[in-house]
Amino acid sequence: MSGITNESDRTPTSRGPAPTPKASAQTIARLCSDVAGSSIGVDDDMFEAGLNSLDLVRLAAAVQQQCGIRLNALSFVDHPTARQLADHINGSGRDDHA
């Protein structure tokens, strides 16, 4: 998964790697809405909803804090809805925007 860093992969443990963090579309949509200051649904395009590059930095920080996952800007460009981004993060293999 390019553009994603699992924070738990960096911390060795005696029991093996920590479980991969997951992010739900609802959680990402809520974080988008918090950043935007308006309601953004799971299938709403973040850019069409008005998020700009500074907002994406804030959103990436919120996703990292809430879900333990680091994303780069390309992740948001390639997966512009909360559902697409969650599918990407969770490795479902779905990519609904062709």
Residues 6+ apart with CB under 8 A from 95: 79, 84, 87, 88
| Number of residues in the chain | 98
- How would CATH label the architecture of 22-89? Orthogonal Bundle (1.10)
Per-residue pLDDT at 19: 55
Give pLDDT tens digits along the chain (98 positions).
456 655 544 444 446 555 556 789 999 999 999 999 999 999 999 999 999 999 999 999 999 999 899 998 889 999 999 999 999 998 865 444 33
Neighbour tally for 15: CB within 10 Å: 6
Q: Where are the domains of the chain?
A: 22-89
According to the 3-state scheme, what is the secondary structure of 59-79?
A: HHHHHHHHHCEEECHHHHHHC
pTM above 0.85, yes or no: no
